[in-house]
Amino acid sequence: MAMIEKLTRKDFMSDQEVRWCPGCGDYSILAAMQLLLADLGVERHNTVFISGIGCAARFPYYMNTYGMHSIHGRAPAIATGLAIARPDLDVWVIGGDGDMLSIGANHLLHALRRNINLVIVMFNNQIYGLTKGQYSPTSELGKITKSSPFGSADQPFNPISLALGAEATFVARTHDMDRSHMQYVLNRAHQHKGASFVEIYQNCNVFNDGAFESLTGKENRQDKLLMLRDKEPIRFGQDARYGIGLDQDGCLRIIDTDLEGTEKILTHNEYQADPSLAFALSRLGASETEPRPMGIFRDIEREDYGAAMTAQHEAAQKKNGHGDLNKLFRSQATWQV
């Protein structure tokens, strides 16, 4: 059915009261999503949100689409079954950093390598919100929380590096303070055929307030965020003074164009088959002096799992004919009594 009237955010708001803490970054992600889907004019009944457990995972309740609030960590697995069984649907997966990188990392990584047709959105607040403030797999070393009064000793995962190491075909990062960038990234993820992984920096103002303030705060963005744009030189800072170059030891380094000019600055290529440069970019921001890249690290084409299954089904039918019980029952030796 062609869209007749333009959809609005309201069309995507369910009748359930939103129950996040006042000030939580989840609100702005919800708004961005609802507005985006309305803008895109997607069909609500062909859209499904699947989530695990956590604050972030309450998301499906607030979307007036089909949805399932499942169990902790398993949303990518459940969504995998749905996406394979129903290639006609738009399936989104929502979860927190604990949901997706602690208990659920394995399902996430397998969904990525299999290129299941899903948009997987991870709200990274570097904390367990719903269980009231334990450290998560993205919390920084030494973090003091209820479960780590002496400081966490766990080296955090870098979600982008991890996804790239798992053969993901679409990998991106954005943050809850920039609606238009969120929408741009989510839209691109939605367009991508196969599994898309989007990390969203999200503020938990109750248990980990200001975790990203030094990067995403309005005053800090220019110097601290590096906005990746396809086919453009990788630059940041006021007047794009700085750029990113590649050293012969394979490490990236910051180039001050005032000193070195722009010649050695790398050009970003989202579509590069080899993920090595995307991986190198994902390592940026480890130290205070480096900017944190935002945007699309990788967007490559690879047959998605659902398409492969459909092709196999068709091939099997071509070879063996449409499934027929009478034939099946006689597919090996039979005898009459």
Partner 1 sequence: MTVASDKRRINLDALVIRFAGDSGDGMQVAGDRFTAGSAIFGNDIATFPNYPAEIRAPAGTLAGVSAFQVQIADHDIYTPGDSPMVLVAMNPAALKANIADLAVGGVLICNSDAFDKRNLEKAGYQSNPTEDGSLDNYKLYSVPITSLTLEACKDIGAKPRDAERSKNFFALGLITWLYDRPYQSTLDFIKLRYAKNPQVVEANTLAFNAGRHFGETTEAFESSFEILPSQLTPGEYTNLTGNMALSWGLIAASTKASLPLFLGSYPITPASDILHELSKHRNFNLVTFQAEDEIAAVGSALGASFGGAIGVTTTSGPGVDLKSETIGLAVSLELPLILVDVQRGGPSTGLPTKAEQSDLLHVLFGRHGEAPVAVVAAATPAHCFEAAIEAVRIALMYRTPVYLLSDGYLANGSEPFCIPDPEELPDISIEFATSPNKILSDGSEVFWPYLRDQDTLARPLARPGTRGLEHRIGGIEKADGTGNISYDPANHELMVRLRAAKIERIADSIPPLQVDDPDGASILVLGWGSTHGAILAAVNEVRKLGKKIARAHLVHLNPFPKNLSEILNRYETVLIPEMNTGQLAMVIRSTFLKDVVQLNKIQGIPFKVSEIKAALISLLDGGQL
Residues making contact with ligand SF4 (CB under 6 A): 20-21, 24, 26, 55, 125, 129, 204-207
Distance CA 255, CA 268 (A): 15
Binding residues for ligand TPP restricted to 95-114, rule: CB under 6 A? 95-99
Put residue 230 in one of left, alpha, beta given phi > 0 → left and psi -120 to 50 → alpha: beta
**Residue 81 CA to chain centroid, in angstroms?**
19
- Selected binder of its own copies within 315, 317, 327, 330 (CB under 8 A): 315
Is residue 56 part of the contact set for ligand TPP (CB under 6 A)? yes
- Least distance in angstroms from the C-beta of 151 to ligand SF4: 21
Which of 12-20, 60-68, 105-113, 211-219 is the region at the interface with its own copies (rule: CB under 8 A)? 105-113
Find, among 175, 250, 243, 255, the residue nearest to 211 by Cα: 175
Of 115, 162, 111, 130, whose CA–CA distance to 59 is shortest? Answer: 130
The correct pick among 26, 90, 97, 199 for binding Mg ion (CB under 5 A) is 97
Number of residues that bind ligand TPP (CB under 6 A): 18
Region 117-176 residues binding ligand TPP, contact defined as CB under 6 A = 123, 125, 127-131, 136
CB of 192 to partner 1, least distance (A): 20
Q: How far is 333 from 233, CA to CA, in rounded Å?
A: 67
Tell the smallest beta-carbon distance from residue 151 to its own copies (Å): 7
Cα separation, 141 vs 254, whole angstroms: 25
Q: Under rule CB under 5 A, how many of the chain's residues touch Mg ion?
A: 3
Output the smallest distance, CB 11 to partner 1, in A: 10
Residues contacting residue 154 through CB under 8 Å, at least 6 positions apart: 135, 137, 139, 141
Instruction: From 166, 63, 40, 51, select the one nearest 118 (Cα to Cα).
Output: 51
Q: Which stretch binds ligand TPP (CB under 6 A): 36-44, 48-56, 220-228, 310-318?
A: 48-56
CA distances from 117 to 107, 121, 127, 223, 252 (A): 14, 13, 28, 35, 32
Contact residues for its own copies, defined by CB under 8 A: 102-103, 105-106, 109-110, 113-115, 137, 150-151, 153-158, 161-167, 246, 248-252, 266, 269, 272, 274-277, 279-280, 283, 302-303, 305, 308-309, 312, 315-316
